[in-house]
Amino acid sequence: MGVLFNPSGRIDRLQFWSGFLFLLMIGAALAVTQKRVPEAFDTILLGAIITKFCFYCVFAQRFRDRGLRGAFAFIPLGLGVVCALIAASAALTAQYVPIFQEIAAERGHPAETLVDLEQAMRADPGIEEAAQRRVGEPDVVRATVRGLAAPSFLAFWAVAFASSFWAVGAPRPRPSS
């Protein structure tokens, strides 16, 4: 437990990989729960924040074992969060564009491409207002929350996995007692 919740100290490679894989499993469980029970979003968000803190602790301890500052752990954490946000944004756009296209078609402005959609929205500002109302409907919100789970999970943990090889590196010799 000290490995997951204490950012100070040092851990060897085995402890790092054990902690990393445990956090990966927790992250996967959170992503599956978010997809299946989107109403539990607040609880899942709290779990994700705690998981990210534990991620920082595991990486900080490993970096210290390599003779580096624990603050280097903010690099993979920050990159992972940024990539997760970008993936979530792309997933959100992919979910909302068809809604906007459907409303544009209902209002007499068929839009097959994004350029067509942009032109339709300029010609009829009511498209955006109608789409925003529909996006706020509970079933659309639930579908959106479900749709964000996998892309953001995969993006964060892909960066985490790639950066784990940097963190593992070669250990610094421990001082003899």
For the chain, give the number of residues: 177
d(CA 36, CA 34): 6
State whether the Cα torsion 56-57-59-63 is positive or negative. positive
Segments in 37-73 forming alpha helices (H): 41-65
Residues 35-64: pLDDT tens digits? 888 888 889 999 999 999 999 999 999 999
pLDDT digits (tens, 9 = 90+) for 11-44: 999 999 999 999 999 999 999 999 888 888 889 9
What's the average model confidence in pLDDT over 66-75? 94
User: pLDDT-based confidence at 142, cuts 50/70/90?
Assistant: confident
Tokens of 138: 């509970």
Per-residue pLDDT for 116 more than 80? yes
Token pair for residue 68? 């580096």
Report the pLDDT averaged over residues 124-146.
Answer: 91
Predicted confidence (pLDDT) per residue in 162-175, tens digit:
999 888 886 666 67
From residue 160, alpha-carbon distances to 5, 15, 72, 123, 167 in Å are 18, 16, 13, 45, 10
Asked whether 78 and 151 are in contact (CB, 8 A), the reply is no
Tokens 């204490």 correspond to 6
Q: How far apart are CA 127 and CA 138, in angstroms?
A: 19
Q: How far apart are CA 138 and CA 141, in angstroms?
A: 5
pLDDT cut 90: percent of the chain above it? 78
pLDDT at 87: 95
